[in-house]
Structure 1
Amino acid sequence: MHNSKKNCRTKMPNFLNNMRSEHLLTLGYLKFSEGEMMVGAERALFMDEISTGLDSSTTYQIVKSLGLITNILGGTTVISLLQPAPETYNLFDDIILLSDGHIVYQGPREHVLEFFELMGFKCPDRKGVADFLQEVTSRKDQPQYWARNDRRYQYVPVKEFARAFQAFHVGQSLSAELSRPFDRSQCHPASLTTKPYGASKMELLRACVEREWLLMKRNMFVYRFRAFQLLVMTTIVMTLFLRTNMHHGKVNDGIVFMGALFFALVAHMFNGFSELAMATIKLPVFFKQRDYLFFPAWAYAIPTWILKIPISCVEVSITVFLGYYVIGFDPDVGRLFKQYLLLLLVNQMAAAMFRFIAALGRTMVVANTLASFALFVMLVLSGFVLSHHDVKKWWIWGYWVSPLQYAMSAIAVNEFLGQKWQRVLQGSNNILGIDVLKSRGMFTEAKWYWIGVGALLGYVVLFNILFTFALSYLKPLGKSQQILSEDALKEKHASITGETPVGSVSAAAGNINNSRSRRNSAAPGDSGRKGMVLPFAPLAVAFNNMRYSVDMPAEMKAQGVDEDRLLLLKGVSGSFKPGVLTALMGVSGAGKTTLMDVLAGRKTGGYIEGDISISGYPKKQETFARISGYCEQNDIHSPNVTVYESLVYSAWLRLPSDVESETRKMFIEQVMELVELNTLRDALVGLPGVNGLSTEQRKRLTIAVELVANPSIIFMDEPTSGLDARAAAIVMRTVRNTVDTGRTVVCTIHQPSIDIFEAFDELFLMKRGGEEIYVGPLGHQSCDLIQYFEGIEHVSKIKPGYNPATWMLEVTSQAQEDILGVSFAEVYKNSDLYQRNQSVIRDISRAPAGSKDLYFPTQYSQSSVTQCTACLWKQHLSYWRNPQYTVVRFFFSLVVALMFGTIFWQLGGKTSRTQDLFNAMGSMYAAVLFMGISYASSVQPVVAVERTVFYRERAAGMYSALPYAFGQVVVELPYVLVQSLAYGVIVYAMIGFQWDTKKFCWYLYFMYFTLLYFTYYGMLAVGLTPSYNIASIVSSFFYGVWNLFSGFVISQPTMPVWWRWYSWVCPVSWTLYGLVASQFGDLTEPLQDTGEPINVFLKNFFGFRHDFLGVVAIVTAAFAIFFAVAFGLSIKVLNFQKR
């Protein structure tokens, strides 16, 4: 909370901290949240900042309804509000005023002004009481309210207010009430419940089952997509391991079958990975409902498990019944169903494990990391990548606790002890199936199938029990908090104690209209703030008969609507002039932001009609972007740069190239002074609601980022949304200062106080449906606006002291139109004001004599080289200050290197058996896939966050797409290099590969470019998809395909000819080719078990040749270049921003 917050209540004070982002809060969401808490037997309701994003009229209606419910039910309601209008404030019975952690006042609303008058402070006549209460405890704002002429003003700290309240009659009554013990005899014994839940256990379980089933039905796309992925993957596997190409004549044939079995297990493990995201997303709602005793954790966990079993049955049916006989597994139908049972248990085990990890991690970042490590250990210790005979004693425990080891052993003995593998090879005493199992170090007894089934069933139960325990006892992870600067901490301490803060230079929020009054009283030739380093040309905007429509939604067509388009703006007209601050207002859904987006050229879809002119010339978006700024409501900025660096970056790319560096720096300093950001110059921006700048500070930064471009016209979308009254006043003073430089400024605004509303010069008022109903000046104390609407017959007069903004929204509502039988849009169209506005529009739409149209020789202010340099500079700063990504990834590389090194300890130097080569290749295969997928996954959220910033910056005309992609791609090069060197040196030494300079360099080369192309692929996946979540889902499919064609599961020569081509376009297969061929491709020693030289075996079995190494190196590097270029093109061509 900023400085202070009012909490209006009926009986008891408390606060609710679990708020969602203010930009997602809508009227429908509010109603749902209220209803969710009110349908039970609860009689105490706590609500936090419910007015954010709503107009004052809607807020009034909601609070009024809550007051009626509270009185009728005899309940207790506590509501914290940011900027309550006077009429909303007057609905409350009691007030709690908090400031810097102290209760300054708590009691009846009627006595709060009396208390402060006793302290020497008086609320002005045209000042909202709520705004006064927020400002009177602030050191910067307090002096303006001092009302005693008999005593010199001295700052009254918060502690003194709190002490005085204890002596005030309201405080004394409160203390007396609290000192009296509660009389239980006055209360019925059954008034308090003794049961933790409101229903029986069976009712709770049934409710959770029904809700989970409903969520599954509405989430069916995810399950269908998973099934489709498995269907496509099964089709690939069937045609890759086609029975006409699959033989049962020798051990190597069995190894191919074993690869198919291993991939089936891996496919279901990766398929279960989606449970991680789905479970994590639902956790915030679960924790809220668990803590409110909606239901116990077991009632939530059981349906989550049981209802997913049919889904598992369908998914396993796809892989088993479609592929079993096509691949050519043992034809015994009993073994078919045994394989089905085993894969069903694997599917269930994977889903249960990932749900448990989600509950343990509680956030996507933590859960993804834990899941990746778990999956990595299970795959490596499954018995296929590394034979259990070669597992070191310090890791043998991991082998025995790996569920995938039991699954691999069971599925292998089920197949290789079948009829097709009963033949005995010459020189062997065992059947072929046992020879195959022994060649990969597998168990050979039939009992291992049932051991595997039992173990998997145990793990399914265990993980679901652990999931339930985690849900029961773990709490949500705490959120990062805003970091206060040293000056802010000194200021806060001084407000509490009354000491004078050292070096305090901040100004008061004061009266926003002071600057306006100074401007109006200034001489005509007085430039005031206009004397800035860089001049600009004042420009006016005129628009006439603007219409905007979108394709009719399918839902509305289904309800019988015949039109093809839905009209959102219905022929609105108006003008915005230099040096004039215009408020764009209307009820929620009136089309304010839509109109602003249309005028600013930010719409990415829909149909626009009408005329827009800039100082007499038709608007051209290419040039308009160079002279305009757009301050978005969401305050989108790169989180890991400072305030000053954000301004330097914007000015660098948006100011003309002929502006000298020193002049640019001076201009930035002037802008920082204008928007009062000097004390925050070195503060990191951070993420909204997580860390970094406060909401009010981010608003001012958003304005400054646009101002350093020296625009003539600035659009601002709800600059005061989500702010308390004092913070809103600071932002509006910044806006007022901007207008006083002579710029054209337009703001949409929801629920302004009287001070904020009357800081505007003109008003553009819209009604729901996209029509204007008033366009004109406000006048002194809104006299022109009031006179216009009071002049309409039967419109109720405004009450003395009432907020004109709230009054106009109330008297022009749809309900009032129906009561009065008038259309305010028609009244306006028939008024003299409309005719005067049309005359102004015609005048602005005519070019003045001797003027010239806007012209710029180039599309962007800076050259492509400068754009690339600036983008790389910002990306470098962002990466350097993002340890959650860069340092964690480096630490992750070191941990994985140590794990690989200890698991495959000194196995790289063993080359006497084919299994030794499989072990060495397994270490490379696991490292490439696991490290690569981790790199690709970790970069995706980073790129997704920056892409949102990219959309804003590209729309502002800062740069083209390719320089942005250049910066994003190039900044990864040194980080991946350092990480691959650290990983490569550790792993190479610990695994014991041959210490040869050339081989060592080849190993580092292939690991570097492999991690690089995986990273660039992660970027490309984000560039091709609308969100990070979809990118991760799509990527999982490609990871599976790359795994299948890597050359480890099935070697390239063994592949059918119709699939062999894909091994040449699979990047992982080239990496494994390079790693294996560079290490072993030149060795000529014979293998003990086959007698073949090592290089001949690699050529015959894998198709790897040492003399082809140069081509492999070029192709591996080419993949990195290809993915990087493709990312740049995707960013340039595709725009997933919907406006």
Structure 2
Amino acid sequence: MAASNFTCLTGDNPVSLTDDYQCNTGFFCPNNDKNHPPQYCPPTKQCQATRLLMVKNICTEPQGFYEPSICAPGFYCPPHTTKQLECPSGHYCPTGSEQPLRCNGISACPVGSSGQRQITGLVALLLVDIGLLYFLMHPYIRSLVHRLQKGTAQTSTNNSDTASVQRTGKEKAVEDSDQALSNLEDFVNSSKRGIGLDATRMQIEFDQLGLTLDGSQKEVLKGVTGHAGPGSLLAVMGASGAATFVRVLMGKAKATSGTTSINGTPRNMSDFKKIIGYVPQDDIVLPELTVRENLLHSARVRLPKTWKSGEIGKHVDTLILCLHLSNVQDSLVGDVIKPVISGGQRKRVSIGIELAAAPMVLILDEPTSGLDATSALSIIELLKSLSSLGVTVICIIHQPRHEIFLSLDRVLLLAGGRQIFLGNTKDSANYFRGLGYSIPKECNPADAIIDIISGESQRYMSSAPEYTPRSIEDLAEIWSRREDANNPPTGTDSNQDTDRSVDLEALARSASERGASRLYQVYYCFMRSLTQQTRQIVGFVLEIIVGAIAGLLIGLSVYQLDGFMFQGIYRPPFELLSSSTNYTLVPELGLLNSLAIGLAAAAPGVKTFGEEKTMYWREAASGHSRSAYFVGKILSTFFRIGLSALHFTVFYALLATPIMPFGQLYLAHLLYFYCIYGLACAVSMVVSRQDGPLLAIIGSLIIGIFGGYGPSLSTVKTWHLEWAWRMCPGTWFSEAYFHAHTTPFAYLWDIEAAAKWTGYTLNQLSLDMGMLFIIGTVYRVLAYIGLVFLNRDKQI
């Protein structure tokens, strides 16, 4: 040393730090003893300039002979040592180490390491990714092998068939017809078991039903009276009013006048929705599932609890044959953008979802739209067969072909929301002929009737002078004056009419026996959601890649620090030896990580529920457990959240080499992913599918910024607004970061002063982690409330 033993490098006189010999833990004091206690020397200009950089404690060499120096990174300094010892292999020694720290798990820790580069997470990640890749690709590999085997078998079959006698087309047609009848009979028998041979039948009666719109006071439905009983197929036809009538009848829209009765007792149909099937006009099916999987899920959830898995599977297979879907039963349904099966096949799948549940009442909105003539007729024949079991079948049909119209038992005609006719289908044409309309025998009576009640009656009007054109109001008035308008007409269902004296408790018992238990429904929804995710490979892989890139970029931004992310004031009596403090880097890392996780997880989290609200509404309206659906979907995201958090954590830890143990780091990231997913689920309930991702990202940025970095939590406390920051997971996340990165150096730095300056509380890591879990759970509770109570009219 150039200076004397009693002066500093600058030539200034040293300042005694203590009267007695004392070397703080983590310091190197080779020249001090009881006679020469530690001293402080002002640093040279060059040393002072480097110390102001706050990077890895540059310029640690003593500025005087008796000035202690902090133990250098990569070395450790036991008490009373006269030499800094190099950190051995398998250990790491950050700045100020008294003893080497053993590296955890699989780590890269060569001699002289100042931090551990943990490989355990990377090894686990590789094993998980390999297993995931095999799981995702296995079905495609198996399908490819199956197609190759099937092609070989088909070639062999074709060669053997060359020498055989070919069946005639007529023979094949007869055989196919016999097989179709056999399939239909099997399904009818299977449905009997679901409905019950001795079950009480449901007759629906409606008296003077009406609906007036709020505000405009416009009557969209008025004075509709009649009944729909078991044993017949009732078609609701009309240019306007048919859909409104069905909604009012089912209780989806509250009638402003009139009553609905079940078996002669005023009741709402929604009270028996477990035994009522409703097929909406739109084909609401899950595109990621196969035809059979869509039908099987409905059957498992809604058939009686006593049915076993094998019986349910056989029931669904028979239904698939009746719907002529056997050739596509293992094909994905697809959607409008990426169709896999035809539109007609999608329609049959949508109908099959309700038929699979063996309902006592089946209501269909346009069941034949989008189908070819043959398929449409087969659907009507299937519905007629179900009605023969005692099922009450009601369907809206606007333009039935001649054969379909003649297949209908009864028809309800509506125009402008007014009732024009209700009776046997075969009597409808004669009724209008009696009013002076000329309907040719060769004409499709359905087309003529629709024209008449739509105001296009001129070409059907009789030329006799006593007949004059009639308006819709006139036709409705004529019908209302009929003496038998309010009496159930005798027709094809009269012998099977339900005894009105039957106690509705029998129906209630039948409904209570329907449906799997809530626990099983959770399992079915969970497995269905997992299946959906495995078939959304692009989105699934992209989400994981985004998480990995986010962790990589944040880790790269602090790579040069080599894990040295905090620098404070030394413990007394060595305060004067302290260089510039760095209290803000750890909170800043908490902010950056929370923002990165928010950007990576917000948009995927919205898809949890935002992509299939219409399917949920349909299932909730049919009696599925809302809570089971919600819990199943939430549980299915945990695997996704865990994978994304693992990729984020591994790449961040590899580059940042934080002092925070990998397990704690992963748990903190996992819980913050959990919070963001919960927030995104809640957001998806209140906004449209298109706006959800953007709003979720904005929300994640807000709760991340409210993390205590800027403004600092200590400043927020002076505003008396700490409670608002504590409501956001970003504060708890950053506080956990601050605790984990500072408390290991409590022997070296005055971390209490740092905590006071930042506003964070030390030594409550368990509380920080617990609050992240609680907040994420609260977000999910809010999401559940939104799921159940928003759009309530679509769930009944």
Specify if TM > 0.5: yes
Letter in 2 for 1:792: L
SS at match of 2:408: coil
Does residue 893 (structure 1) correspond to residue 540 (structure 2)? The answer is no
In the alignment, structure 1 segments of 5+ residues that lack a partner are 1-387, 391-482, 491-499, 520-525, 557-564, 1087-1092
Letter in 2 for 1:594: T
| 1:593–1:717 Cα contact (<8 Å) kept | yes
Q: 1:866 to 1:518 in 2, by over 3 A?
A: closer
Please point out which of 796, 809, 832 is paired with 2:450: 809
Letter in 1 for 2:488: N
CA distance in 1, matches of 2:592, 2:719: 26
Q: 1:912 to 1:1008 in 2, by over 3 A?
A: closer
Does residue 1119 (structure 1) correspond to residue 780 (structure 2)? The answer is no
Does residue 955 (structure 1) correspond to residue 625 (structure 2)? The answer is no
Q: Map residues 1082-1093 of structure 1 onto 2, 5 A cutoff.
A: 1082-1084=744-746, 1093=749
Does residue 792 (structure 1) correspond to residue 435 (structure 2)? The answer is yes
- Aligned partner of 2:157 in structure 1 is none
Q: Map residues 23-34 of structure 1 onto 2, 5 A cutoff.
A: none
Q: Map residues 476-555 of structure 1 onto 2, 5 A cutoff.
A: 530-532=188-190, 534-536=193-195, 537=199, 539-553=201-215
Q: 1:912 to 1:987 in 2, by over 3 A?
A: closer
Indicate the RMSD between aligned Cα atoms, in angstroms. 4.1
SS at match of 1:993: coil
- Aligned partner of 2:667 in structure 1 is 1005
1:119-151 per-position Cα deviation (integer Å, ceiling 9, x unaligned): xxxxxxxxxxxxxxxxxxxxxxxxxxxxxxxxx
SS at match of 2:516: coil
- Aligned partner of 2:11 in structure 1 is none
SS at match of 2:563: coil
Please point out which of 705, 712, 717 is paired with 2:365: 717
Q: 1:1040 to 1:872 in 2, by over 3 A?
A: closer
Does residue 862 (structure 1) correspond to residue 516 (structure 2)? The answer is yes
1:825 is displaced (CA, Å) by 1.1
SS at match of 1:709: coil
CA distance in 2, matches of 1:866, 1:900: 42
- Aligned partner of 2:221 in structure 1 is 569
Q: Map residues 53-132 of structure 1 onto 2, 5 A cutoff.
A: none
- Aligned partner of 1:1049 in structure 2 is 710
Please point out which of 469, 482, 488 is paired with 1:837: 488
Please point out which of 227, 238, 241 is paired with 1:591: 241
SS at match of 1:552: coil
- Aligned partner of 2:421 in structure 1 is 774
CA distance in 2, matches of 1:528, 1:974: 41
Please point out which of 668, 672, 677 is paired with 2:325: 677
CA distance in 2, matches of 1:549, 1:907: 72
1:915 is displaced (CA, Å) by 8.4
Letter in 2 for 1:532: S
1:662 is displaced (CA, Å) by 2.6
Letter in 2 for 1:683: S
Q: 1:941 to 1:915 in 2, by over 3 A?
A: farther
Higher-Rg structure is 2
1:476-509 per-position Cα deviation (integer Å, ceiling 9, x unaligned): xxxxxxx9x989x99xxxxxxxxx99x99x9999
Greater per-residue helix proportion: 1
| 1:932–1:1014 Cα contact (<8 Å) kept | yes
CA distance in 1, matches of 2:428, 2:750: 91
- Aligned partner of 2:647 in structure 1 is 982
- Aligned partner of 2:633 in structure 1 is 968
1:953 is displaced (CA, Å) by 0.8
| 2:272–2:508 Cα contact (<8 Å) kept | no
| 2:323–2:348 Cα contact (<8 Å) kept | yes
CA distance in 2, matches of 1:545, 1:667: 37
| 2:566–2:585 Cα contact (<8 Å) kept | no
Q: Map residues 536-935 of structure 1 onto 2, 5 A cutoff.
A: 536=195, 537=199, 539-553=201-215, 556=216, 565-587=217-239, 590-603=240-253, 606-621=254-269, 623-725=271-373, 728-729=376-377, 731-739=379-387, 741-768=389-416, 770-779=417-426, 784-793=427-436, 795=437, 797-799=438-440, 801-814=442-455, 816=457, 819-820=469-470, 823-831=474-482, 834=485, 837=488, 847=500, 853-856=506-509, 858=512, 861-907=515-561, 909-911=563-565, 918-919=584-585, 921-935=587-601
CA distance in 1, matches of 2:170, 2:261: 39
| 1:751–1:806 Cα contact (<8 Å) kept | yes
| 2:333–2:341 Cα contact (<8 Å) kept | yes
CA distance in 2, matches of 1:618, 1:653: 29
- Aligned partner of 1:1080 in structure 2 is 742
Q: 1:972 to 1:850 in 2, by over 3 A?
A: closer
Letter in 2 for 1:567: E
1:824 is displaced (CA, Å) by 0.9
Q: 1:618 to 1:549 in 2, by over 3 A?
A: closer
1:1029 is displaced (CA, Å) by 4.5
| 2:296–2:316 Cα contact (<8 Å) kept | yes
CA distance in 1, matches of 2:544, 2:172: 46
Q: 1:528 to 1:936 in 2, by over 3 A?
A: closer
- Aligned partner of 1:372 in structure 2 is none
1:793-835 per-position Cα deviation (integer Å, ceiling 9, x unaligned): 3x3x234643322211222233649943671112222346636
CA distance in 2, matches of 1:1051, 1:1101: 8
| 1:528–1:741 Cα contact (<8 Å) kept | no
CA distance in 2, matches of 1:786, 1:773: 13
1:836 is displaced (CA, Å) by 5.5
Q: Map residues 468-483 of structure 1 onto 2, 5 A cutoff.
A: none
1:586 is displaced (CA, Å) by 0.4
Q: 1:849 to 1:650 in 2, by over 3 A?
A: closer
- Aligned partner of 1:1102 in structure 2 is 758
In the alignment, structure 2 segments of 5+ residues that lack a partner are 1-52, 56-142, 152-160, 459-467, 568-579
CA distance in 1, matches of 2:181, 2:523: 43
Q: 1:1124 to 1:670 in 2, by over 3 A?
A: same
1:1014 is displaced (CA, Å) by 0.7
CA distance in 2, matches of 1:923, 1:950: 40
- Aligned partner of 1:264 in structure 2 is none
- Aligned partner of 1:402 in structure 2 is none
Q: Map residues 241-280 of structure 1 onto 2, 5 A cutoff.
A: none
1:180-208 per-position Cα deviation (integer Å, ceiling 9, x unaligned): xxxxxxxxxxxxxxxxxxxxxxxxxxxxx
What number of residue pairs does the alignment pair up? 608
CA distance in 1, matches of 2:355, 2:222: 32
CA distance in 2, matches of 1:978, 1:846: 59
SS at match of 1:625: helix
Work out which structure has the larger RCO, using CA pairs closer than 8 Å and 6 or more positions apart in sequence. 2
Letter in 2 for 1:791: G
Letter in 1 for 2:540: T
1:1070 is displaced (CA, Å) by 0.7
Q: Map residues 324-335 of structure 1 onto 2, 5 A cutoff.
A: none
Bigger shift: residues 900-909 or 714-723 = 900-909
Q: 1:652 to 1:518 in 2, by over 3 A?
A: closer
Q: Map residues 275-354 of structure 1 onto 2, 5 A cutoff.
A: none
Does residue 1060 (structure 1) correspond to residue 722 (structure 2)? The answer is yes
Does residue 1015 (structure 1) correspond to residue 677 (structure 2)? The answer is yes
1:999 is displaced (CA, Å) by 2.1
Q: Normalising to structure 1: TM-score of the pair?
A: 0.49
Q: 1:848 to 1:552 in 2, by over 3 A?
A: closer
1:655 is displaced (CA, Å) by 1.5
